[in-house]
Structures are given as C-alpha cells and as structure tokens.
A = this chain, B = another copy of it.
C-alpha cells in the first residue's frame, strides 16, 4: 500500500525510453510530465541521448543522483526485464511498464511476463502495466501517461482496462466537464490489479466514486472483498464488455452451460453492490450524476417538459427501465393548475407547453420537488420559437442545487441548446442528449441505492435443520474415487444431499430384480427404476430409465428392459444394479446447480426446469456463500418465482423452505472444494412440497483436501 501511495504521489520520476521524436511514446511522456506543474523532478533516461526536451539525459537508472519514487518504462518489450532489474537494483519504489508486446502476443510475451513476476517478487516494488497508458492525477498536476488529452481535476477515480480507449474517454470527459482525482490505465494487471487500486482509492476521502472500464478481472476474491467494502459507502460503476465472447460461451455445467461467464459477472457485481452500466459513455454520464446529485430514495420519476413528444419518449424509457412514473397528489395538481396555463397536460409528464418561459419551469419544478410521491425529476427542453434554453438552464440548475431530490436535465438539440448545456455543466446539473439517456442514468442511481440496501439488509435467521455428517460424505467421495469414478450415482448423490437437509424423493439401490421388487414394495408404488453404472451417466439417452411402474409384475419387465438397453448402449459397462425411487407427481420442474467459473470459482444457478430452461433461459445466478437475503434475491430474479409465490395457486410453495435449500446447497458447495459440479435437475414441485428427483454430483478427478 505504501508503494501505491508513492506510485501515485511521487517526488521523483525516471522516464526510461525518453525521446525527442515527436509522436513517440517516450516524447509524449516527457512532454506531459515536464513544465506542467508537477512539483518534483523528472529524469529522462536513454543510453542514446544526451538530452531530452533540453534536459540532461541519463544512460541508465543507476546513474541517477537519487533513488526515484517512480520509474516509467517505455522501451521495447524484450529489454523490459533487463531494465526492470536495474530499477530494482536502483531501489525505484514503483514502476509503470508502458510497453506492449507481452502476454497478448503469444508464448514469447508470456515468458517475458513470467520474468517480470520473478524480478519483482519480494522486492516491494509495485508495477502498473504492462501495456498501459500510465496514469493522470490532476490535483498534483501529474500526467504520467502518453495520452493526447489531459484531465480536469475532480473527484472521480477512473480505471480503464483498455489503454486505447483512454483518449476517447478523456475527450468526452473534457467536453462534459467531468473531473478526475485519478485517471488510471491498468493494462495487463501483471502486478497491480483492480483490487489493489480499489483498496488504495478507498483511503482517499476526496474520491466520490470509482468508474471502471473492464474486460475481465484477476484475483476475483480480493476484488469482491475490496468492491463490497468500497460500495458500502461510495459507488463503483462498471462498464464491462465481452458479454458474448467465445470465452463466455464456455459451459458452466449441463445446466450452467446456458449461463455464460458474463452472467456470473453480473451476479458478482450485484453481490458487490457495483452499478453496471451499458456502455462507456454511460460510465461518465452516471459518474457525473452520482457526483453532483443526491441519490434518489425510490424509483418514482416526474417529468417536466415543454414538448409532448419527448414526454412520451421519457415515459417509454421509464417503464422500459423498470422505474415508475410518479403519480401527482391532488395538492400538487391544484398548485400546478394555479401556475400553469389552462391546457397543461394535467398529469405527469408535466407538459408546461411550448411557449414556457423560464419562470414556468421554475414554478413547476418548485412544486414537484416538494411532492412526497416524487423521488426524482427529469427536466426536458426542446427549443421552440420563444424558448430561452440558457435562461431555463440557469433557473433549473439553481433550484436543483438546493433540493435533496435527484434532478437531471435533457436539453434536446445541437448548437441551439449547446450554450444552455454549457450553463448546466458549469452549474453541476447533469444533462443528457435524449430522455432515454437521462432516464437510464436515473435507473443506475436507483440501482445503486438498492444495491446498498441489499448490502446492509439483515437476513432472516434461517434454522438449518440438519448437521451434515461430513465424514460420511467424504467417505462416499473416497469410495467413488477409489474406483476412479468421479460422477456419483443418484443413490450416493441423494444420500449426500439429504445430509444437508435438501429434500429428495426416497431413492435406494438394488443390485437385482428381487431386491428391486422388495424395495419398491417398501417405498410404495408407483416407482421409477434407473440403471446404476459408472460407465453410463446419461441414463435417459441410454433408455435406461423406467418411470411410473405401478405393480410387481411391471417391475420385472422394466428391470429386464433397462438392463438390456444399457447393455446395448455400452456393452463394456459394468452394471452395478438399479436405483429404485418413489415417483413424485408434479407439473412444475425447477433446477438447482453449481459449477466452477474460471474467474469467480463456485457459482450457484437456480431456475425453472423442463422445457423452460433451454427455451426461456429462466434462471438466476449467485455466488456462495448465500444468506437468506441473497437466496431470496436469486429466487426473485426468476420468472418462475411468480408461480412459486402463488400466482397460479397450484404451484405455491413455502418460499422460506426453498431459500433454506439454496443456503444449504451453497454451504455444501463451499464445504467440499473437490466438487466440480452438481445438478439437481429436476426438483419437482408437488403439492407445495419440493423433491429433488434426479441429482448428480461430479468430483474433480484430482482429489483436493479440504
């Protein structure tokens, strides 16, 4: 942490690869650092130059008159390790590797990365990059980047994983008058990653929010911890791209295969209280609003507009974004009637009509800001014959500044309203080009409010019914692994789940038809028979399942049939016997599963089963451990929740029981890291009760110790 402080507040900087060649990175870095107000020393380092920008140039970092706080390395990748070693020797406290040509280029580059890791290990030096733009810190007048644009000072910390995008962001930010406390290009995150930066920024009280452009993360656990802690007091906003990448297509499990990595990111962001925005422009739009406007206390929006059309557009956006059009109280209506012309819309959106002078906007805003039923106001202006865009802007910004409610602006047009937008920017009222954008930003703000509420929500105490016998479970694992079987059969799987209080339909093993008959009689008809064989894990495909067996006689026939089918499918399979289980009647199927995500580790998936799983993708993802609040939220995000909550009486269940199942399931997944995946598919809803009627636990082939 001390090193990070030095990195972002250095007194001395060495620029290794400094250059006089205009357009080169080494030149841009020097140009950005020298003569721009930085209160420290910049040392150009380049063995081939005598001077750079008229400053004495050193042959190597070891020649410098002092141990520098920061070494910025902008030289070809292949000599970076050599130079980095010199930096370590010269006791540089931190470094930025600007150079590209590492992991992204293939094996050679990966090897270079490994060298770098070795060099810095244990030295205490912290490294930003490689393959980054550097960083800008306007308050200290440090521009340690080769960006073509500078940043305004402000209270936003921006972290971008795409260096190439930084200039565009800076350009947008300049126009929007968005200022930064830190503007950081993280590059390949060989050493310093998002978690480090969030932890560092957390200690800076000046920062009001963090905005991140992200493509992926490293060290998800630390990221989550840091993000959760930060989000509890200040917002983190993330634009993550790569929603549909080939990588995201990789399957999570048979059930999870439909989720895709991006859905896991979504779940992780929600869990961490992070606000996910749709694109990079929204990143700034949202940061701007969070920085200058109070958080809304709910999702009820009022619209004040001088044009009907945009009012309709805003209403569309409000519903589409899941917000609410505030309904005005009778008192507010009466007040509005007094100050507005006769033909005003007499409803929300409040159409103050095309000839609205600034005072009319002011009057309407005054009334609406006092309304209990209103959590936020979007003020829309479309320039008409006698509209005074800038005058309206002044009045609206003034009123908004004094209110505890969220106010956003939308001045529609170009040159005709640009001066007014400039007024809004100067006075800190966020404004957007279209009603849709304004509403979307309001939704982001509201979702941050909800996120915090979730982070602070105290879950209901849920009594865990059973105390799982972990030794017994491990013994079952050992037994299977001893015979090199990693896919546990239904009998073993259900026995284990029962230990965690997860309801299953009674299922027993029978090694021959005589035993099966006996078991069936004990369970009560009708029953199902399924083949048990380590070599046949896809029993349905093998036609090795018989359902709804209603009599002893039928068992005999069914047994013969499924054994014969199994043999046909895989003549070499060792058939151990059959499972016998009680049929469960039900018309609604749920699924519950777990799989290891390559980034986030174990992931829980819940949803509607049967046809709906694949057709409608009605599923929801969460990260363990789950408490009651988190389990509840997972369930509520599915559409099938409506049925379970009683929408059509016949599928109503005790939701607390389902929550408990999810909690126990997540505990089970965490208790045994050797679990690769689990599928409870389906869980049958039968007369208000739940039964996992099929279950499959898959172990990692390499046994791990807990």
Which chain A residues have a beta carbon within 8 Å of chain B's beta carbons?
Answer: 23-25, 28, 100-101, 104-105, 146-149, 160-165, 167-168, 171-172, 174-175, 213, 215, 241-245, 278-281, 306-310, 312-313, 315-316, 319-320, 342-343, 354, 382-387, 412-417, 433-434, 436, 588, 611-612, 614-616, 618, 639-640, 642-643, 647-648
Contact between B165 and A416 (Cβ–Cβ < 8 Å)?
no
Interfacial chain B residues near A342, Cβ < 8 Å: 105
A382→B163 CA distance, assembly (Å) = 10
Contact between A162 and B612 (Cβ–Cβ < 8 Å)?
no
Contact of A320 among B105, B244, B310, B386 (CB under 8 A): B244
Residue of B nearest to A165 (CB): B309
Interfacial chain B residues near A171, Cβ < 8 Å: 383, 412-417
A647→B387 CA distance, assembly (Å) = 59
Interfacial chain B residues near A436, Cβ < 8 Å: 278-279
A149 touching B343 in the complex, CB below 8 Å, given contacts A162-B307, A434-B279, A648-B611? no
Least CB distance, A425 to chain B, in whole angstroms: 13
A416→B414 CA distance, assembly (Å) = 18
Residue of B nearest to A618 (CB): B616
A395→B174 CA distance, assembly (Å) = 28
Least CB distance, A646 to chain B, in whole angstroms: 13
Least CB distance, A15 to chain B, in whole angstroms: 14
7 A-B pairs (CB sep. < 8 Å): A24-B385, A149-B416, A165-B309, A171-B414, A172-B414, A213-B309, A244-B319
A320→B244 CA distance, assembly (Å) = 8
A167 touching B382 in the complex, CB below 8 Å, given contacts A175-B414, A241-B313, A642-B615? yes
Least CB distance, A167 to chain B, in whole angstroms: 5
Contact between A307 and B164 (Cβ–Cβ < 8 Å)?
yes
Interfacial chain B residues near A319, Cβ < 8 Å: 243-244
Contact of A312 among B245, B354, B383 (CB under 8 A): B245
Least CB distance, A102 to chain B, in whole angstroms: 10
Contact between A316 and B612 (Cβ–Cβ < 8 Å)?
no
20 more A-B contacts (CB under 8 A) besides A162-B310, A175-B414, A242-B312?
A28-B385, A147-B385, A148-B384, A148-B387, A162-B309, A167-B384, A167-B413, A168-B412, A168-B417, A171-B412, A213-B309, A243-B316, A243-B320, A244-B320, A278-B436, A279-B436, A281-B433, A588-B611, A611-B643, A616-B616
Contact between B615 and A309 (Cβ–Cβ < 8 Å)?
no
Residue of B nearest to A588 (CB): B611
- Please list the 6 inter-chain residue pairs (A to B) with the smallest Cβ-Cβ separation, ordered nearest first: A162-B309, A164-B307, A171-B413, A168-B412, A244-B319, A175-B414
Most buried by B among A24, A28, A309: A309
Interfacial chain B residues near A215, Cβ < 8 Å: 309, 312
Least CB distance, A75 to chain B, in whole angstroms: 15
Interfacial chain B residues near A306, Cβ < 8 Å: 164
Contact between A308 and B382 (Cβ–Cβ < 8 Å)?
no
Contact between A164 and B414 (Cβ–Cβ < 8 Å)?
no
Contact of A101 among B308, B343, B384, B415 (CB under 8 A): B343
Least CB distance, A463 to chain B, in whole angstroms: 31
Contact of A313 among B149, B280, B309, B415 (CB under 8 A): B280
Residue of B nearest to A147 (CB): B385
A308 touching B164 in the complex, CB below 8 Å, given contacts A316-B243, A384-B148, A415-B174? yes
A240→B343 CA distance, assembly (Å) = 24
A600→B611 CA distance, assembly (Å) = 34
Contact of A164 among B100, B309, B615 (CB under 8 A): B309
Contact of A383 among B100, B168, B315, B434 (CB under 8 A): B168
Contact between A105 and B343 (Cβ–Cβ < 8 Å)?
yes
Least CB distance, A576 to chain B, in whole angstroms: 29
Interfacial chain B residues near A642, Cβ < 8 Å: 615
A615→B611 CA distance, assembly (Å) = 13
Least CB distance, A148 to chain B, in whole angstroms: 6
Interfacial chain B residues near A384, Cβ < 8 Å: 148, 164, 167
Interfacial chain B residues near A147, Cβ < 8 Å: 385
Contact of A354 among B164, B639, B648 (CB under 8 A): B164
Interfacial chain B residues near A165, Cβ < 8 Å: 307, 309-310, 382, 412
A308 touching B162 in the complex, CB below 8 Å, given contacts A385-B146, A611-B648? yes
Residue of B nearest to A616 (CB): B616
Least CB distance, A609 to chain B, in whole angstroms: 12
Most buried by B among A105, A147, A279, A436: A279
A167 touching B343 in the complex, CB below 8 Å, given contacts A162-B307, A312-B241, A316-B244? no
Residue of B nearest to A342 (CB): B105
Contact between A354 and B416 (Cβ–Cβ < 8 Å)?
no
Most buried by B among A171, A434, A612, A615: A615
Interfacial chain B residues near A315, Cβ < 8 Å: 241-242, 244-245
Interfacial chain B residues near A343, Cβ < 8 Å: 100-101, 104-105
Interfacial chain B residues near A312, Cβ < 8 Å: 162, 215, 241-242, 245
Least CB distance, A665 to chain B, in whole angstroms: 24
A640→B343 CA distance, assembly (Å) = 48
Residue of B nearest to A101 (CB): B343
A147→B243 CA distance, assembly (Å) = 43
Most buried by B among A164, A241, A385, A386: A164
A168→B213 CA distance, assembly (Å) = 32
Contact between A167 and B241 (Cβ–Cβ < 8 Å)?
no
Contact between B146 and A309 (Cβ–Cβ < 8 Å)?
no
A417→B647 CA distance, assembly (Å) = 54
Interfacial chain B residues near A385, Cβ < 8 Å: 23-25, 28, 146-148
A244→B165 CA distance, assembly (Å) = 36
Residue of B nearest to A28 (CB): B385
Interfacial chain B residues near A313, Cβ < 8 Å: 241, 279-280
Interfacial chain B residues near A639, Cβ < 8 Å: 615-616
Most buried by B among A24, A310, A383: A383
Least CB distance, A415 to chain B, in whole angstroms: 6
A146→B164 CA distance, assembly (Å) = 46
Contact of A615 among B242, B308, B416, B643 (CB under 8 A): B643
Interfacial chain B residues near A308, Cβ < 8 Å: 162, 164
A672→B104 CA distance, assembly (Å) = 67
